[in-house]
Amino acid sequence: MAIDPIELTKQLVNIESTTYHEGLAGAFLYDYLGAQRYEVERTAVEQPDRASTPGAGSGERFNVYAAMPGVTPDVVLSTHMDTVPPFFGCTEDDEFLYGRGTCDAKGILAAQVAAADRLRDGGVKVGLLFVVGEERDSAGAAEANLSPKGSRFLINGEPTDNRLALASKGALRVELRAKGRMAHSAYPELGESAIDKLIEALHDVLAMPLPTEPEIGPSTLNIGLIDGGRAPNVIADKAEAHILVRLVGPSDEVRRSIVATVGDRADVEFSLDLPFVRMRKVGKLPTMIAKFTTDIPKLTAWGEPFLLGPGSIHVAHTPQERIAKRELLEAVDHYVELATSLVQNN
């Protein structure tokens, strides 16, 4: 009996699996794929230090890999099982499924499972790789890259509106930490405000020119988190900000600019650096440029990468996250066509 990607999406969305808490989703997939006659592997991924990582969990988390027994895959379909918070379960109407992960990326995962079922029936040597941690640091992908399975092609799934991506932006995560000296706020001359230094540095960072790629567009910069101080009547002795830069080329130039711009006002740490990726066009699928980052830069040992998936990135990470049932079904066909074309023509 053919796998129904709509029903499988509902099951997956109703399992909470925000980043660092993916264990239940991984266990479900391990059992589900085993029941589909696959040989299934679990690969543990370490939890980060809970003291330094907000939201870190204490439970088991692991990647799931599946292929037919004894088969070295030519093509692997891959996406992530973790979601951003907060969790909310699946609802539906005639047209859409709603809920956390419907488009990013549990609907994609379900479509890939359904596609793999058809591909193996068609004689294609296919594997499935579902990883943890994509929404934070690609820790699952980095772990998977240590044990590749010999595939020639990797089809990664993210919401691309069922268009084939020709490029995806990189990501540079930057952490600024300013230090000061506490004093009573009535006597600011006795202290040194870390918040003042951080604000001045961030103002200058926002004014920095960023690289632009003519075919792709500009790099973009977002200040996503700011924290600091002790109380309104205390001169702040500490403050920090977390920045994410979407890259359209190597990170070296942006790194140098940030360090020079911040100067001695704050310490600069680069906690994540995922490169910009170009990919080739195959077949007649419509194409797009992904302004977001994926696990692809961390899965270099899994074959030539391609990026394709149902759903819109514009509703991912929002309270309105949803996916069209029609798109899910179309995605199964697209994955089958793309994988078959790659294996037969390359």
Tokens of 311: 């759903």
Query: Burial code of 326-341, b = ≥16 C-beta within 10 A, e = fewer?
Result: ebbeebbebbbebbbe
Catalytic residue among 22, 134, 158, 240: 134
8 A C-beta contact, residue 179 and residue 238 = yes
Helix/strand/coil for 338: helix
Within 10 A of 12 (CB to CB), how many other CB atoms are there? Answer: 25
- To the query of whether residue 134 is one of the catalytic residues in this protein, the response is yes
Closest alpha carbon to 259 in 193, 208, 195, 199: 208
SS3 content of the chain, % helix, strand, coil (to 5): 30, 30, 40
Sign of CA dihedral 146, 151, 154, 157: negative
8 A C-beta contact, residue 147 and residue 302 = no
Just list the catalytic residues.
Answer: 134
